[in-house]
Chains A and B, each alone.
Chain A
Amino acid sequence: MPLNENEFRPKIVAFCCNWCSYAGADLAGSSRLSYPADVKIIKVPCSCRVNPMFILRAFEKGADGVILCGCHPGDCHYSTGNYYARRRMTLLFSMLEYLGIEKGRTRVEWVSAAEGVKFSQTMNEFVETIRSLGKNVRLGDLRCKN
Chain B
Amino acid sequence: MQRIGVFVCHCGSNIAATVDVKKVVEMMKKEPGVCHAEDYPYMCSEAGQMKILEAVKEHHLTGVVVCSCSPRMHEATFRKAAERAGLNPYMVEIANIREHCSWIHKDMEEATEKAVILARAAVAKVNLNTPLQAGESRVTKRALVIGGGIAGIQTAIDIADAGYEVDIVEKTPSIGGRMSQLDKTFPTLDCSACILTPKMVEAAAHEKINIYTYSEVDKVTGFVGDFTVDIRKKARSVNSDKCTGCGVCQEKCPSKKSLNEFNRGLNTRSAIYTPFAQAIPNVPVIDRDACIKFKTGKCGVCEKVCQAGAIDYAQQDEIITEKYGAIVVATGFDTIKLDNYDEYAYNQSKDVITSLELERIMNAAGPTKGHLERLSDGKAPKEMVFIQCVGSRCSDNRGKSYCSKICCMYTAKHAMLIRDKYPDVNVTVFYIDVRTPGKNFDEFYRRAVEEYGVNYVKGQVGKVAPLPNGKLLVQGSDLLDNKQILKEADMVVLATAIEPEASVRKIATMLTASIDTNNFLTEAHPKLRPVESPTAGVFLSGVCQGPKDIPETVAQAGAAAVKAIGLLAKDKLTTNPCTAKPDELLCNGCSQCANVCPYGAITYLDKEVNDHGIRETRRIAQVNSALCQGCGACTVTCPSGAMDLQGFSNRQIIAEVDAICR
Contact = CB atoms under 8 A, between A and B. Distances in A.
A34 B72 contact: no
A41 B96 contact: yes
Interface in A1-46: 1-3, 11, 13, 22-23, 25-26, 28-30, 32-35, 37, 40-46
B214 interface: no
B103 interface: yes
A16 B96 CA distance: 13
Given A2-B107, A40-B118, A44-B648, A30 B632 contact: no
B182 to A, nearest CB: 32
B447 interface: no
B72 A23 contact: yes
Interface string B638-661: 000000010010100110111011
A129 interface: no
A49 B636 contact: yes
B105 A81 contact: no
Contacts of B616: none
Interface string B85-99: 000000000001011
Contacts of A78: 534, 598, 629, 631, 633
Contacts of B632: 44-46, 48-49, 81
Given A29-B100, A44-B648, A54-B657, A81 B633 contact: yes
B57 interface: no
Nearest to B513: A79
Nearest to B637: A84
Interface residues of B, number: 50
A63 B104 CA distance: 22
Interface SS majority for chain B? helix
A80 B514 contact: yes
Contacts of B105: 34, 37
B141 interface: no
Contacts, number: 143
Q: Which size class do A's interface residues fall under?
A: 35 or more
Given A54-B657, A77-B525, A45 B70 contact: no
Contacts of A32: 103-104
Contact of B110 (A2, A11, A26, A50): A2
Contacts of A80: 514, 596, 598, 633
B657 A49 contact: no
A88 interface: yes
A25 B103 CA distance: 11
Interface in B606-639: 629-633, 635-637
A115 interface: no
Nearest to A60: B661
A117 interface: no
B143 to A, nearest CB: 23
Given A40-B118, A51-B635, A13 B653 contact: no
Contact of A75 (B104, B526, B596): B526
A49 B631 contact: yes
B631 A45 contact: yes
Contacts of B534: 78-79
Contact of A11 (B596, B648, B661): B661
A57 interface: yes
A35 B113 CA distance: 15
Interface in A57-101: 57-58, 61-63, 74-75, 77-81, 84, 88
Contacts of B121: 40, 42
Contact of B636 (A25, A26, A42, A88): A88
B662 interface: yes
A21 to B, nearest CB: 12
A48 B597 CA distance: 11
B72 A63 contact: no
Contact of A49 (B72, B107, B117, B648): B648
A37 B661 contact: no
Q: Which of A34, A37, A42, A44 has the most CB of B within 10 A?
A: A37
B522 interface: yes
Q: Which of B70, B107, B632, B637 has the most CB of A within 10 A?
A: B632
Interface string B511-537: 000101000001011100000001000
Contact of B657 (A33, A58, A74, A84): A58
B514 A79 contact: yes
Nearest to B102: A29
Contacts of A35: 104
Given A42-B660, A45-B630, A48-B632, A3 B598 contact: no
A45 B648 contact: yes
Given A2-B110, A78-B534, A28 B598 contact: no
B236 interface: no
A71 B522 CA distance: 15
Nearest to A44: B648
Given A37-B105, A40-B660, A45 B578 contact: yes
19 contacts: A1-B106, A1-B107, A2-B109, A3-B109, A25-B99, A29-B99, A37-B101, A37-B113, A44-B648, A45-B645, A46-B631, A49-B635, A49-B653, A51-B635, A51-B653, A53-B654, A54-B654, A75-B526, A77-B631
Given A42-B657, A81-B632, 9 more contacts: A2-B110, A22-B70, A23-B72, A29-B101, A37-B105, A42-B656, A45-B630, A61-B657, A81-B631
Interface of B: 70-72, 96, 98-101, 103-107, 109-111, 113-114, 117-118, 121, 514, 516, 522, 524-526, 534, 578, 596, 598, 629-633, 635-637, 645, 648, 650, 653-654, 656-658, 660-662
> Lowest 5 CB-CB distances: which A-B pairs, in order?
A29-B99, A49-B632, A61-B661, A78-B631, A48-B633
